[in-house]
A and B are shown apart, each in its own frame.
Chain A
């Protein structure tokens, strides 16, 4: 009987001690829990901002990639046109030379006419004819320079000059 009373008393004392201790401790725990809750809120808010910032970055990069792809496409189209023009220009070198040579031939015939006319011309006429001959000569110089430049395209670059670049 005495043991049972002791047990009950010990149980009551234990419960009182537990309750008192728990209440005393809970005052601090409440404050800590509030702080942790605040930290959690801050963490959630920071995470929401991080997600938003990442979404902003992804969108900016996607826009940038689309713009870049567009610019590259335009550049490729321009390169294709330029390559074709250059190919045509290089391929047309022979035709241009033929054209230049026929112009030189025509100038030569004109020169012969002028020189023949000089034989029977008066002094004044001779001066005019001389002027025309000078114009023809200047034109010939220009035509010959163009002819040489076009011929040059088919010539090999001297090995000593291009050597360091050849791989």
Chain B
């Protein structure tokens, strides 16, 4: 009798299989270039006894550094905006897909 029970149980267990569940993927990445992420430089140092002519040079260097920093900030802002636009597009597609699935499940 025990053998019969064991045989029936073994046959029943044959019906059990594993189900592959899709793995959860990582979120989207927004990685601007290193040049854009680099910090802006500090203002030029001013030496003791600086002349008016040298101060004009210092001012010129600082203006260039400021322009460079502004350009970097602008590029970074544009990159973030581009990422957000595409992420929003992706999220909208996912929302639409989920809504479709919900509708299908209701039917």
Task: Place the interface of chain A in its size category.
Answer: 35 or more
CA distance A93 to B52 in the complex (A): 12
The residues of A with any CB-CB pair to B shorter than 8 Å are 7, 10-11, 14, 17-18, 21-22, 36, 38-40, 42-47, 49-50, 53-54, 56-57, 60-61, 64-65, 67-69, 71-72, 75, 79, 82-83, 86-87, 90, 93, 152-157, 159, 162, 165-167
Contact A153 B56 (CB under 8 A): yes
Q: Which of B19, B51, B64, B90 contacts A155 (CB 8 A)?
A: B51
Q: When the two chains form their complex, are residues B36 and A53 in contact, meaning their CB atoms are under 8 A apart?
A: no
Residues A162 and B46 in contact in the complex (CB < 8 Å), given A86-B60, A157-B52: yes
Chain B stretch 39-76: residues in CB contact (< 8 A) with chain A: 45-53, 55-57, 60-61, 64, 67-68, 71-72, 75
Top 5 A-B pairs, shortest CB-CB distance: A153-B53, A43-B22, A53-B90, A65-B33, A68-B75
Given known contacts A46-B94, A61-B82, A86 and B57 CB-to-CB distance under 8 angstroms: yes
Q: Is the CB of A49 within 8 A of B52?
A: no
Whether A166 lies near B50 (C-beta < 8 A) is yes
> Given A17, A40, A53, A71, which contacts B86 in the complex, CB threshold below 8 Å?
A53
Q: Is the interface of A mostly helix, strand, loop or mixed?
A: helix
Question: Which size class do B's interface residues fall under?
Answer: 35 or more
- With A65-B32, A68-B33, A82-B60 known as contacts, the answer to whether A49 contacts B46 (CB < 8 A) is no
How many interface contacts (CB-CB < 8 Å) are there between A and B?
139
B51 near A153 with CB under 8 A, answer yes
- A165–B34 Cα distance when bound, in Å, is 31
Contact status B4-A57, CB under 8 Å:
no
B20-43 with Cβ < 8 A to chain A: 20, 22, 25, 28-33, 35-36
* Residues in A neighbouring B60, C-beta threshold 8 A: 82-83, 86
